[in-house]
Structure 1
């Protein structure tokens, strides 16, 4: 080392980030291990004789590899000079581990990788290159000589006579103790265009990034299977890293579902996320919550401690075990039938073979409503009226029977279909029925059948799904021809026709929270849940579930929906809309989950399958989601 290089000598006198007496052996053959005072300052590793103040040499941590030789020693080798290898011996394994970690983080390659990472992330989130606006070429950014950069940096040190190192690795914020007053000393620029963070309101800046990312994610098709609890943990972990690595000063994690804009001004100022200029304002050291107090027992800053102590909104737990299981012998494994329905009076109707049974959720009593065996017929669909006093029964021969549930009496028989009736839907006193004969019949049960009958013909194969909208104005029908049709009261032709599904459309559900929002699910060849704006006719979103979609139902209280599936996983999924993230996955059925009904209070669902069981699940909550 040439001792007339005053800049390096001056740098060696700066407060070190690591300093200790270590055993050191040089790269020459025959070099013995000697005791040296080793100091890590910025990107230089200086070594001194233990009784001298000036270094006898320095290692520039560029293009080098740091490796553990054994439990108490490590080596530094340079990639362009294979024979140049230095060995260091420590007093303990812990000391060796600390030195290796510090040297790795001090290397130029580590800082460069982190700078590229943050540049890429910011570009992904904002669509802008944070360095491009300054017209800086890639060569200037990352491939300029490190020696020239260090010389320029050291000249700044001599001119400004400051003890604090201006280089801060992007991957590790280092708190150095300046000898001059922080109030009178100006802020410095980072080396290689690493931005100055002094005076920046990082809580606002990072909130702005999260908002941009949220808006991008809303337009992105995703199959995210993470839960809200996992997302909240991820946000907290991300905020903690921003505090410790970037000094963000975040003390509270925003709810991922919250629309709170308190951190963002109504008209945000047009300013860059990073500041590459000297800040006119600088916070007092005692006001900075991003440093660790010398008296603190915690390894993280005070802001991070507040973040970790901030109250977390309790997450809703959905039990993966059904709270009740009932036997349902002869429950058919037929995709095109609808054999389970739950009334507004809390009575479950189930079609089993030739019979319809009623199960009271209040008393757990089971009664047989009817037996069609005497007529040589079987049950293919059941459906409760909105008041819960009447139940419609569709049969294999094409009849629709109307029964008084309380009296156990058949009130009428509606004819008109020439094949089995697999779908029923009530609209006040009007009953819609869909059949294998490809026809939908709408009839007022109070009037003579022929006078009130309305025929809707649009499907080319069996009608297997029927649902009225919550405002009773639109009827959605799904068929084995892969079509989803929407009808109104005034026309015998569909007002909307959707052909995007690739398999039979049985699963249909209207949102009770958004006018005109319709969800539909396709069969084995499709596996998708699609969402439609029936007011404009536009498709909204689509997610591939990976298996046959058998049924859909919206929660009455929250913007969530449940789907049941067939081949190959036979699962029940709870989704959050519009993010389409999975809230829960329930399993237990060994056959396709073909049947689904919701309790009148909107909290529980019942599912049925060809394994001849009915399973009851607590899925939804009455508490509305906080927006």
Structure 2
């Protein structure tokens, strides 16, 4: 039934006309003989039946329609082509029935209403536009909005390979949840702690350099590069922190203060934070002679995660006591305390896209990734991943993050924020994926596990300022499997 014909400004058939079944009842009375006050002006004509018109109403906004279900896994090129056609057909249907005001170039599962909220029921039709008046003479079977959808350029779907494009053997890479033995510098050099030694692997030349050997009485428990990528901090099992010049392969300073192993390190400018099994966090300013400038005491068990925010105003720490704390550089007491995790908190990452957005992951008894707003001190979201969360890292180029997992799935998962839908799941490690680092261009991640391998994956697009991801390909272009030693 065409409701718009009734409500488009046209009243029912005029009484007295040949098509009016009520002609005999009305007799010869016509509108011309009615008093002037009883006549209705054409601009305010109403029907005598109040049937709602939905012209101009955004049904997606009114009914809050759910997005389509996730497409099935593409196992063959023919199936992928069919699903692409289905996506186009879905967009066309949405445009025809729901309208598309600015959704032309977006995928069907990402369409969102952009028009203002309107009432669902109307008793007067909106004036038709010139485009609607000319629609009757159009040669295309679809409307102008749908033509825009079909003609707009579509982004090629991002494909993430589920196979690492490079594998490095890493003998003696420890299978210890509380250590942090892999880090990637801004100068494209990967540092790996293997037993008592630290090795540097250049992603540009594939050259391996032995930076240091701590001797039989000590071992490497953490590594972390400065932001400039010229110096590397090395934590040891005896509680020392050493600063090494990577170009000269020489130590520049050794700092003490901890009574047990240093499992995590994090730089912020000239400030180096170190977390230890002795439950303390020491703040060290490498410009002064003192080994540490302040001592942060709050955790009841080993500190295994440390991350400075990008503006250097907040330090997040996680411990084996299931606590997540946020510290200010100007105080020795925690600024915020989060107690929702039910297992050790090692995985910590600050969002580079939103100030104050912090993600944290819990161990085997928790398995959750939680999000926090540290500006309002409020929890935002939580998702159960089904396995131990070992590491978290936000993408620099897109609003996504990657997590690595241990018991019992040993997988790597790429998530889309904030829907937390899975973009890709990567497998290959046979033990817990305990170590994670990202390349300086933000496209490649490297993961390490107790299976004594380092695996390289292309998971994120390149920087937008450098064009398409295919143009700004990763700095790692070699294939095969070699050894870090």
TM more than 0.5: yes
- From 213, 216, 225, the equivalent of 1:384 is 225
- From 58, 61, 66, the equivalent of 1:205 is 58
**Contact persistence 1:187–1:279 (CA under 8 A):** no
3-state DSSP of counterpart to 2:58: helix
Q: Which residue in the other structure is 2:135 paired with? A: 287
**Contact persistence 2:432–2:450 (CA under 8 A):** yes
Q: 1:323-372 CA distances to partner (integer Å, 9 max, x unpaired)?
A: 21111111111111100001111111101111111101111000111112
Q: Does 1:439 align with 2:280?
A: yes
Q: Does 1:459 align with 2:299?
A: yes
- Is the alpha carbon distance of 1:576 and 1:160 closer, same or farther for their aligned partners in structure 2, counting shifts above 3 Å? farther
**Cα offset for 1:568?**
1.7
**Contact persistence 2:350–2:356 (CA under 8 A):** yes
Unaligned runs of 5+ in 2: 2-18, 24-45, 74-79, 466-485
**Contact persistence 2:221–2:262 (CA under 8 A):** yes
Q: 1:415-438 CA distances to partner (integer Å, 9 max, x unpaired)?
A: 111111110111222211111111
Within a 5 Å distance, the mapping from 1:270-285 to structure 2 comes to 270-272=118-120, 274=121
Structure 1: distance between partners of 2:452 and 2:359: 27
3-state DSSP of counterpart to 1:440: strand
- From 386, 397, 402, the equivalent of 1:546 is 386
Q: Which residue in the other structure is 2:334 paired with? A: 494
Structure 2: distance between partners of 1:481 and 1:233: 52
Structure 1: distance between partners of 2:296 and 2:224: 20
Aligned residues: 414
- From 302, 312, 320, the equivalent of 1:480 is 320
Within a 5 Å distance, the mapping from 1:96-175 to structure 2 comes to 159=21
**Contact persistence 1:189–1:277 (CA under 8 A):** no
Q: Does 1:255 align with 2:106?
A: yes
Q: Which residue in the other structure is 2:460 paired with? A: 620
Give the TM-score of the pair, scaled to structure 1.
0.59
Instruction: Answer 1 or 2: which has greater helix percent.
Output: 1
Structure 1: distance between partners of 2:208 and 2:439: 17
Structure 1: distance between partners of 2:294 and 2:137: 72
Structure 1: distance between partners of 2:238 and 2:322: 24
Q: Does 1:537 align with 2:390?
A: no
Structure 2: distance between partners of 1:413 and 1:289: 82
Structure 2: distance between partners of 1:289 and 1:595: 64
3-state DSSP of counterpart to 1:287: helix
**Contact persistence 2:301–2:320 (CA under 8 A):** yes
3-state DSSP of counterpart to 2:433: coil
Larger Rg: 1 or 2?
1
**Cα offset for 1:521?**
0.6
**Cα offset for 1:249?**
6.1
- From 178, 187, 196, the equivalent of 1:345 is 187
3-state DSSP of counterpart to 1:397: coil
Q: Does 1:573 align with 2:426?
A: no
- Is the alpha carbon distance of 1:584 and 1:289 closer, same or farther for their aligned partners in structure 2, counting shifts above 3 Å? farther
Structure 2: distance between partners of 1:462 and 1:585: 31
Q: Which residue in the other structure is 1:13 paired with? A: none
Q: Does 1:362 align with 2:208?
A: no
**Contact persistence 2:392–2:401 (CA under 8 A):** yes
Structure 1: distance between partners of 2:333 and 2:425: 39
Q: 1:251-305 CA distances to partner (integer Å, 9 max, x unpaired)?
A: 96462698997x625xx5x532x55778997998972599xx8xx9xxx756767
Structure 2: distance between partners of 1:365 and 1:396: 27
Q: Which residue in the other structure is 1:332 paired with? A: 174
More deviation in 229-238 or 427-436? 229-238
**Cα offset for 1:314?**
2.5
- From 389, 393, 418, the equivalent of 2:234 is 393
Q: 1:53-72 CA distances to partner (integer Å, 9 max, x unpaired)?
A: xxxxxxxxxxxxxxxxxxxx
Structure 1: distance between partners of 2:71 and 2:384: 12
- From 446, 454, 461, the equivalent of 1:606 is 446
**Contact persistence 1:226–1:582 (CA under 8 A):** no
Structure 1: distance between partners of 2:413 and 2:377: 27
**Contact persistence 2:180–2:222 (CA under 8 A):** yes
- From 334, 342, 345, the equivalent of 1:505 is 345
Structure 1: distance between partners of 2:300 and 2:191: 30
Structure 2: distance between partners of 1:234 and 1:415: 63
Q: Which residue in the other structure is 1:412 paired with? A: 253
- Is the alpha carbon distance of 1:358 and 1:468 closer, same or farther for their aligned partners in structure 2, counting shifts above 3 Å? same
Q: Which residue in the other structure is 1:524 paired with? A: 364
Q: Does 1:585 align with 2:425?
A: yes
Within a 5 Å distance, the mapping from 1:163-312 to structure 2 comes to 200-201=55-56, 205-206=58-59, 208-209=61-62, 212=64, 236-241=88-93, 253=104, 255=106, 264=115, 270-272=118-120, 274=121, 287-288=135-136, 301=142, 307-308=149-150, 310-312=152-154
Structure 2: distance between partners of 1:255 and 1:242: 12
**Cα offset for 1:448?**
2.1
Structure 2: distance between partners of 1:494 and 1:231: 51
**Contact persistence 1:225–1:582 (CA under 8 A):** no
Give the TM-score of the pair, scaled to structure 2.
0.75
Q: CA RMSD in A?
A: 3.7
